[in-house]
Structure 1
Amino acid sequence: MTTEAPLRRATTGTLDYYLLHAAAEDVQPIGLLVEEFVLADDLSATRLRSAGWTAAPVAATGHLGVEPLDGGWWSSAAFARAVRTDRQLRARLAATDRATAEATYHRLGGGALPGDEALRDHFHDDVPLASGAPLRLGTGTDVHRVLFAGELDDRRLERLSRQLRLAAPVDPPATRPGVIGTGRLRVNDTNARWDLQRVGGAWCIDVTSTPPGRDALRWLLRQLTDLARGQGLVPATIDRLG
């Protein structure tokens, strides 16, 4: 795939990695969280799959709200939901890449971090994601919304805006008052634009592609989501709006 991509870095794979800390102020992590969104053919999210690993019994390092409390791998839909609703719990996570996850897992005594397929074997308690009928906004145009949990202070907002290469919003402020800025990209024959937006107290990135190109859109959604994760936002779902 040839691209004119202005994005900061490329991401491979579909798994999201987080370092897990016993407390928000701790420097050294106690484990990992690994997640993956299962996407439908239209690239909307249908399920969130999640598994955590802690090097020692959770009771010895602070209660995480998961069962069992033994060290090792565990999967908890309740924990995955809590990450997206509990600010204090979310502050104990730090998005990371596969290489750092591997090094952390090894340093904490886990050995070699399993590959993606083996990690998926630890996903036992999925979170189903509701997907309503898409809102049709026009022929030949797809709009996908990545909704995030979390907050952006001025510093993180400025950094994310720069990484997303945002310019002034395309739409008039009265039409979409929460839009911070708009980025653009052409991937093969697909023209894409994305808007960083504040909606109902949450952050989202709306991605418009014309004409819809599934491979290009999948790649772009992944890149944009990863950049937002790097600034402390946690993806909650992906909806197809039109």
Structure 2
Amino acid sequence: MAGSPPALHYYVLYDAAGAPEGLLAEEFLLAPDYSSAGLVSGGWIRSEGRWHEASATSRRLRADAGLRERVTPVDRDAAAALYRDLCGADLPDEDTLRECFGAPPAQPPSPLRLGDSGPRPGFRETRVYRILFAGELSPDDLTALGEAWQMPITGDPADPGTRVLGSARRQVRGDAFRWDLRRVAAGAAWGLDVTCDLLGDRDEAVGVLLHGLTTRMREQGMLPVTVDRFR
């Protein structure tokens, strides 16, 4: 659709000497409730000069801290500028890039929920998501997130025992949203625990919020791993 915002996540890949050598374009496949159903990606390396399926690289990126040090998240405009510098051509549009992603994973089974105590009083439905990220947040990153979300940093980042660093709330046309920024997996990762109290019959605001929160974390150098729904 003309005028639609970029849907793919872009990353610059650097070689061992710190020079840009390629691009990675990723897309999370979402279930109807906006939880993750899979991750597909394509990569371009200057030495090869072509786009190719890159799911193995995307998986390594989540597990290999050394590889993450050679990758920087960027927006589409920055990716297009770098691509033009490296090969003198325009970055393909997102539909064209998707053609190199390969077949999406098979339809996942119906998700298992950890529990459902019913919606919060006054709402039609309550959902709880966790967006999981790989990477590290510096004190400056935490300050930037606090300012962007009007979220006081209430936990001590220097204390490894601190789990929740801050919480934020939003209201959107009667729907209520809250998210907690926390350390997870014994400090090996970060997560946003997002509670969505929905009033009306539509849930588009959930997708918009989860996408926006993911984008904000990527701007601080974090790599999204998955979006799980617990309720």
TM-score surpassing 0.5? yes
Tell me which amino acid in the other structure corresponds to 2:182. Answer: Q
2:5 is matched with 12
Q: Distance in 2 between matches of 1:29 and 1:89?
A: 13
Percent of counterpart pairs with the same letter?
A: 39
1:204 is matched with 191
Which sections of structure 2, spanning at least 5 residues, go unmatched? 119-124, 155-161
Q: TM-score, normalised by structure 1?
A: 0.79
Q: Distance in 1 between matches of 2:174 and 2:88?
A: 45
Alignment of 1:130-141 (within 5 A): 132-139=111-118, 140-141=125-126
Q: Residues 18 and 138 of structure 1: is their aligned pair in 2 closer, same or farther, counting only changes over 3 Å?
A: same
Indicate yes or no: 2:66 matched with 1:88: yes
Task: Choose which of 27, 43, 46 in structure 2 pairs with 1:36.
Answer: 27
Shift of 1:158: 2.4
1:190 is matched with 175
Tell me which amino acid in the other structure corresponds to 1:18. Answer: Y
Aligned length: 211
Alignment of 1:147-166 (within 5 A): 147-166=132-151
Any conservation in 1 of the 2:26–2:39 contact (CA below 8 Å)?
Answer: yes
Task: Choose which of 106, 114, 135 in structure 1 pairs with 2:84.
Answer: 106
Tell me which amino acid in the other structure corresponds to 1:207. Answer: V
Q: Distance in 2 between matches of 1:89 and 1:191?
A: 38
Shift of 1:184: 1.0
Shift of 1:197: 0.9
Any conservation in 2 of the 1:55–1:110 contact (CA below 8 Å)?
Answer: no
Shift of 1:194: 0.8
Task: Choose which of 204, 208, 232 in structure 1 pairs with 2:221.
Answer: 232
2:15 is matched with 22
Any conservation in 1 of the 2:126–2:197 contact (CA below 8 Å)?
Answer: yes
SS of residue paired to 1:108: helix
Which structure would you say has the larger RCO, counting Cα contacts within 8 Å and 6 or more residues apart?
A: 1
Shift of 1:126: 5.5
Tell me which amino acid in the other structure corresponds to 1:46. Answer: A
Tell me which amino acid in the other structure corresponds to 2:152. Answer: A
Which sections of structure 1, spanning at least 5 residues, go unmatched? 1-10, 57-69, 170-176
Tell me which amino acid in the other structure corresponds to 2:63. Answer: T
Shift of 1:77: 2.3
The CA RMSD over aligned residues, in Å, is 2.4
Q: Distance in 1 between matches of 2:128 and 2:153?
A: 19
Q: TM-score, normalised by structure 2?
A: 0.83
